[in-house]
Amino acid sequence: MASIKRQSVYGIGYALIGVFLGFIISGIALPNLLEKEEIGFLNLVVRISTAAAFVSSLGFLSPRFFPYFEKEKNENGFLLFSLTISLIGFLVVSSLYTFTYGYFLDDQTVPKDVPFNYLIVLPLTFSFSLFYMLDYYGRCKKRSQLGISLRDFYQRLAILLISLLFFLNIISKSFFIFNYFFILFLMTPVLWLTLSYKSGLRLKPFSFKKIKPSLKKEMFSVSLFSLISGVSNYLVTTVDLIFVNLFIGLQATGVYSVGAFFGSFILIPGRVINISSNQFISESFANNNHVKVLQVYRKSCVYQGIIGGAFFGLIHINLPIAFLIIPEYTSAAPVIFWLGLAAVADLVSGINTTIISFSKLYKYNALLVVSFGICVIIFNYSFIPIYGMTGGAFATFLSMVIYNFAKYWILFKKFNFSPISLRLVSVVSIILISGISLSKINMEGNLFLIQTLKTLAFTLINAIVIFKSKLIDWSDLLPSKKPTTHQ
């Protein structure tokens, strides 16, 4: 528990700084420096590369198998084994993408100042797939903050720097876009070097023959179901952007991307807590300690739900300031609303996906995510032609609610886990309603003063509600004391 707390605090610290940098980049800099269709292209490429990178892992992105290599005193054999699988997966994925991407992407629509076509996905996929493998190895070594700090802080800091150079006309737009993708690619060798320094990273050989047949069977089974669930999961995060591009166009994709960025702010605490809790949940199930699993599950629902609701409220209250800076993106407001609610629904459900993935129910995860993917495709196909971008965001919200309710029900029926209390639902509802209500109040006068007063009112109201609810164990927010040794 102390390890989760420590890694979560570090991770959330980097993530919050990353939120600030991300807002400056995606919320201010890019909308003012690039055209809407150029933003659409950048985001579409990154989304597709991210999904393809996960497929390249062939489902092996799991700390579940690390203990075997650890017992054999060959931890780096685990890394070489993982990287070999990732390389094989990349060769398969890159071949499939090269021959099929023309069916859903059109190189003729690429903006003229972009120095690439959609084949830029391939080098990015290669880099991302290796990054994920190295990041998972870091998590197994209890260094989860390394990947978070690189992705959420240093990467964004570098992009902010080239944005400034472009703004000052020191570099051209084409060179800016080239360096934008180069920075994304560069994070993998940086993570490799960092892990080598921090953990003595070495690529030691492994012998597949030494792995017991029972473990080989488990590896194949877990990886297959993880791959199926992972493909569907990343398809879900990409399909809305692809459908918006297909039905409306690249310019609308740019607007939708900006709206999705604001919505993604809300998911940051959940991502950090999930990353930090992976190894703990895996070890707890290995020791058949369901009490600890339920304890972490409950706390994840409380903290993620409250923080997510607060992020949602603060974002919606202060949207007028954001749209004052980027007035041509006001049409993204309903996208931000529905994707924000989808994020809160996901967060208040806690680390349910992590628990299912590391339990004996991991096969259910594949079934659930495939069903989720089908829902997202059907809802997007149905709503986007009628309601445009708002339809895509609402499709994601509706699918997310159904998906998380199904996961909650399975964990309740199989393990009797019931982490969400009526008190938590009430508190999160008050936070959401107060945020929406304050955002709807129109007052004449100084905009910044009015928004400051609204923000203070929202903070005060919900601080009282949260304190009175007694949901939070405040000791969880304090640094863990190191045990003293007695001579």
pLDDT, one tens digit for every residue, the chain (487 residues): 444 455 555 555 666 677 778 888 888 889 989 999 999 999 989 988 988 888 887 766 655 555 555 555 544 566 777 778 888 888 988 998 888 887 777 777 788 878 778 888 999 999 998 888 888 777 666 665 677 778 878 899 999 999 999 999 999 999 999 999 999 999 989 988 887 776 666 666 665 566 667 666 766 776 676 676 666 666 666 788 888 988 898 899 999 988 888 877 788 766 667 666 766 777 777 778 888 888 888 888 888 899 899 999 999 999 998 888 888 899 999 999 999 999 999 899 888 888 887 788 877 877 887 788 888 889 999 999 999 999 999 999 999 999 889 989 998 888 888 888 888 889 999 999 999 999 998 888 788 899 999 999 999 999 999 888 887 765 554 444 544 444 3
pTM for this entry: 0.77
Contact residues for 169 (Cβ-Cβ < 8 A; gap 6+): none
Residue 295, CA distances (Å) to 270, 289, 353, 428, 451 in order: 16, 10, 15, 20, 38
Contact 273, 8 (CB under 8 A): yes
Six-digit token string for 112: 């003229």
Nearest to 389 by CA among 266, 265, 257, 261: 257
Pairwise CA distance, residues 7 & 275, whole Å = 9
